[in-house]
């Protein structure tokens, strides 16, 4: 088991810890939080996607956090009485090794202290100005605390504050399934970060036609190019349903295999690839899976993996990890 144990966290004026958790590959991870060294609560991490937990805190208590076989994308303290003026308080996990190597310490308001071997600290980012003051940061326009941000949405003015909602991926520096971030300002120049407002919903992302749509596309592609035979192979690999479809045709053009992620050829190039497989690949990726193209001595092979949940007496459900509110 992979575990990260954190030193004491005293929330002071904040009443909630909001934290995004995802299990390490092939593991069933979780967060354990200890209150005053005794009372322990455990929160499961998402299997495929990050799960948001909103954990109530008491101001006069000390908390210790333990990450078991999981990782954190963003964590912050929220629900203070003056949050509209001061915003959330972001947390970064800093180990003693990082402090000794000066990695992540001394910049962005991080204050690192000596820690027992094998532990770390959830350090509050006290100075967001220093956090943003880097050559790679936009210094004039609003920025997310970290990772991907794109279109603004839901702009409004309410009770003395301008509100900015924006599409964001808090988990990586690339476009993905979108969340709505939230910020507020009194003058449109100075902004504070507020909690993420909207998260992807399972009933939207994981509709029942996903598997049918992917199978239709990859089977149709094989049928188009097969000489006599098409093969299907289904298997379960942990939390993934794997489907391999083969045909005895001429196989994928080498140009398609070299392009990898750039799937379909331009008109006139011909070949084995079309927009159907490109769409199938996108659907798989957005549900925590993948689509792979290969040639074999007998023809072409397309292998897709889609994240699933096992349900007793019900079978398999296609999923995109939902969030808890």
pTM here is: 0.63
pLDDT of 193 higher than 80 = yes
What the block records as the tokens of 113 is: 């202290």
Contact of 192 with 85, CB cutoff 8 Å: yes
pLDDT of residue 79: 93
The string of pLDDT tens digits covering residues 78-117 is 999 999 999 999 988 776 555 555 444 433 333 333 333 4
Residues with Cβ within 8 Å of 19's Cβ and at least 6 positions away in sequence, in order, are: 31, 52, 53, 55, 72, 74, 75, 76
- Rg over alpha carbons for the chain, rounded to the nearest Å, is 24
What the block records as the tokens of 180 is: 């709505």
Mean pLDDT over residues 9-35, rounded?
Answer: 88
Nearest CA to 31 among 78, 93, 87?
Answer: 93
Per DSSP bridges, beta strands 119-124 and 3-6 are: parallel
Q: Which of 9-18, 45-54, 62-71, 196-205 has the lowest mean pLDDT?
A: 196-205
**In the structure, what pLDDT confidence band is assigned to residue 12 with cuts at 50, 70 and 90?**
confident
Contact of 18 with 76, CB cutoff 8 Å: yes
pLDDT of residue 316: 41
């Amino acid at each position: 088991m992979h575990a990260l144990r954190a030193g004491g966290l005293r929330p002071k004026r904040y009443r909630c810890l909001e934290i995004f958790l995802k299990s390490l590959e092939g593991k069933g991870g979780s967060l354990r939080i200890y209150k005053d060294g005794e009372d322990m609560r455990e929160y499961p991490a998402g299997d495929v996607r990050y799960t948001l937990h909103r954990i109530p805190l008491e101001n006069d208590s000390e908390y210790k956090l333990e990450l078991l076989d999981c990782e954190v994308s963003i964590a912050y303290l929220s629900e203070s009485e003056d949050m509209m003026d001061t915003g959330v308080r972001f947390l970064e996990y800093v180990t003693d090794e990082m402090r000794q190597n000066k990695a992540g310490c001394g910049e962005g308001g991080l204050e690192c202290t000596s820690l027992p071997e094998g532990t770390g600290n959830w350090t509050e980012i006290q100075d967001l100005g220093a956090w943003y003051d880097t050559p790679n940061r936009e210094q004039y326009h609003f920025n997310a605390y970290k990772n991907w941000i794109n279109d603004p949405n839901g702009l409004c003015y309410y009770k003395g504050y301008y509100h900015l909602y924006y599409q964001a991926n808090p988990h990586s520096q690339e476009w993905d399934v979108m969340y709505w971030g939230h910020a507020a300002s009194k003058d449109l120049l100075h902004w504070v970060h507020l909690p993420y407002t909207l998260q992807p919903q399972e009933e939207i992302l994981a509709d029942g036609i996903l598997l049918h749509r992917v199978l239709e596309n990859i089977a149709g592609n094989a049928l188009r190019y097969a000489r006599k035979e098409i093969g299907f192979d289904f298997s379960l690999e942990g939390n993934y349903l794997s489907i391999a479809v083969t045909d005895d045709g001429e196989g994928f053009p080498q140009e398609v295999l070299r392009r990898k992620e750039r799937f379909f050829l331009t008109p006139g190039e011909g070949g084995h690839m079309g927009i159907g497989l490109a769409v199938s690949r996108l659907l798989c990726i957005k549900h925590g899976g993948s689509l792979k193209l290969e040639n074999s001595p007998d023809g072409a092979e397309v292998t897709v993996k889609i994240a699933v949940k096992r349900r007793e007496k019900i079978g398999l459900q296609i999923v995109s990890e939902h969030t808890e509110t």
